[in-house]
Amino acid sequence: MQLTIFTPTYNRAHFLSKLYESLVLQNIYSFVWLIVDDGSTDETQELIRQFKSKSPFTIKYIRQENQGKHKAFNVAVENTTTDLFLTIDSDDTMMENSLEKISELLPFFLEDQNLAAICFPLYSGNVENAMTNKKINFDQAILNSIELKNKYGITGEFSYLFKKDILKQFPFPQFSKEKFIKESVVYKRIDRIYKNLYVNLSIVKGEYLEGGLSSDFRKLLERNPVGSALAYLETVNDDRLSLEEQKEAFRNYWYFAKLANQYSTIERLFKVKNKSIIFNFLLQKLK
Q: Cβ neighbours of residue 235 under 8 Å, at least 6 residues apart?
A: 184, 188, 241, 245, 246, 249, 253
Q: What is the CA radius of gyration of the chain?
A: 20
Q: Going residue by residue through the chain (287 aa), what tens digit of pLDDT does each one get?
A: 699 999 999 999 999 999 999 999 999 999 999 999 999 999 999 999 999 999 999 999 999 999 999 999 999 999 999 999 999 999 999 999 999 999 999 999 999 999 999 999 999 865 556 688 888 999 999 999 999 999 999 999 999 999 999 999 999 999 999 999 999 999 999 999 999 999 999 999 986 544 334 458 999 999 999 999 999 999 999 999 999 999 999 999 999 999 999 899 999 999 999 989 988 888 776 65
Instruction: Give me the phi and psi of 158, to 5 degrees please.
Output: -130, 155
| Amino acid at residue number 271 | K
CA-to-CA dists, residue 142 to 115, 116, 154, 192, angstroms: 8, 11, 14, 14
Q: Cβ neighbours of residue 207 under 8 Å, at least 6 residues apart?
A: 91, 92, 124, 125, 126
User: Which H helix or E strand runs over 251?
Assistant: helix 243-260
Tell me which CATH code domain 3-206 carries.
3.90.550.10
Q: What share of the chain is helix, strand, coil (3-state, %, to 5)?
A: 45, 20, 35
Please state the domain extents for the chain.
3-206, 215-286
